[in-house]
Amino acid sequence: MALARDGIEHRILAPDQVCNFIIEKQIETLGRNFVYSGSPHTVVSVDTLLARAESLGNWPKQVGLVQTDEGHHVLAENKWGRALNCFPKALRLAWTGTAMRPDRKSLRAGLGGVYDHLIIGPSTADLLAWGYLTPFKIFGPPPSIDMAGALLGDSGDFSKSELSKRAKRSSIIGDMLTHYLALAPGKVGIGFCVDVEQAKETAAAFQAAGIPCAWMSSRETDDRTRVGNLEKLKRGELKLIFNVDLLGEGVDVPRVEVILDGRPTMSLVRYLQVFGRLLRLFPGKLFGIYIDMVGNVMRHGLPTKLHQWTLDVLPKRSTLENDEDALTNCLTCFQHYSVFLKRCPHCGHRPVPAVGRGASRPEQVHGDLTEYSEELLQRLQDEAARITGAAPRGKVPAYVERNWNTRAVAAGSLTDAINWWMSMQVQRGGLEAGEAYRLFWHRFKVDVATAQTSSASAAIELTETIWKDINRL
């Protein structure tokens, strides 16, 4: 249909009933048929290509270019890689919005993948700024499914059995209905569930509440039903379609105004692909609404977060807790914001710190000195004063005095850099002092007071890092 909409004639390698169905839809939608058996452009699914590989004759050797969508799936030894090998003379070009695999295997040729070069396009933030994607709002109610201690499968994501077990003993179905009615009533969208059973039950609950909806799966709903449901969704006759992963990739329904995400995932790829269903432009669609029922935003960050895409494998990161991009969510309006802020920028709610001014460890309050206990703050201040004070009196070796003075000078330079950086955050950035302390903690991975007790070498290194950050600002 995408080729037909652009007026490109093509032939299709598929079972007769599939070809006939596609021709029927092209005529119905566009007024004519773009399927032409003599076209140099061929559309074929991976499974059909492999099933017919022995009967294709010389045609594969004549193909000069093979394009693969969702190219992050392709490995040399899997079915997508074997499909590419059917075309020995073709240039291979793949497209994807997420250039990594959930299982973190390499995409590079010779390391298990098939690609030689990676070309990075505009980021999600760029495309939003340029008007090519729809703005969005994110709501994150308390997670409905408790995944604490859940085991991961071989793919690096939560196992299907674990998801199903935990979803069954949760309130996810009722919570999805409640928050849809509260946050996006009447909006058209897609709901993602942990399994087909939950998709069926959720659709039934919404239907009982008078909301037109349907559920779909790859095995239990045929092509005509699936396409028909998507067309009803586009027209607004259905408000929601519930599925597991059927609509997570390669589906373009610009009408989607809301995503109800009820499937926890440790896969950044899956999270971004699902979120992407929300971002297509559509007349009259001012913004999309992502309702995160299971804490996926807190696991992976905002979809505008910059990622270091690579054909190789990046070191695995276990958590976002000590990261400047980490988020918290407001318990009043359910929207997310940067963890270093002390009040919600969306509704103004300011949560009361759990420890108040009594934190005995910096990590309890994200390095915010205004919330340290007097004992902790005094101990760190005394140590900093000792370092910058005079060397010990009496007969001491010359190297001890030298090292002491070196450390004192390094500590003084670090203090100057910290004071300059803090003043920029407060005066130019508009942060409160406590927020600036918290931002320092997340950006430099140490709190201000502890930093001033560093060794000479650590102080010198941190000073250089801070000044680089100041110059960047």
| pLDDT above 90: percentage of residues in the chain | 70
Fold designation for 124-316 = Rossmann fold (3.40.50)
Q: Which residues contact residue 44 at a Cβ distance below 8 angstroms, ignoring those fewer than 6 apart?
A: 12, 13, 14
pLDDT digits (tens, 9 = 90+) for 374-427: 888 899 888 888 887 766 666 656 666 677 788 888 999 999 999 999 999 998
pLDDT digits (tens, 9 = 90+) for 28-69: 999 999 999 999 999 999 999 999 999 999 999 999 999 999
Q: Note the pLDDT of residue 402.
A: 73
Residue type (1 letter), 29: T
pLDDT digits (tens, 9 = 90+) for 87-124: 999 999 999 999 988 888 999 999 999 999 999 999 99
Torsion angle, alpha carbons of 115, 121, 125, 129, to 10: -160
The answer to whether residues 234 and 267 touch, using CB atoms and an 8 Å cutoff, is no
Q: What is the mean pLDDT of residues 320-342?
A: 80
Closest by CA position to 440, among listed 461, 409, 465:
465
Residue type (1 letter), 322: N
Residue 320 predicted with pLDDT over 70: no
Residue 319 predicted with pLDDT over 50: no
The overall average pLDDT reported for the chain is 90
Residue 322 predicted with pLDDT over 60: no
Residue 175 predicted with pLDDT over 90: yes
Q: What is the mean pLDDT of residues 147-153?
A: 87
CA distance 276 to 250: 10
CATH 3.40.50.300 range(s) for the chain read: 124-316
Q: Note the pLDDT of residue 323.
A: 62
CA distance 242 to 405: 67
For residues 363 and 440, the model is more confident at 440
Q: What is the pTM of this model?
A: 0.83
Q: Lowest mean pLDDT: which of 39-43, 191-195, 200-204, 389-393? A: 389-393
State how far the alpha carbon of 248 is from the alpha carbons of 273, 277, 392, 453, in Å.
Answer: 6, 7, 66, 50
Q: What is the mean pLDDT of residues 137-151?
A: 93
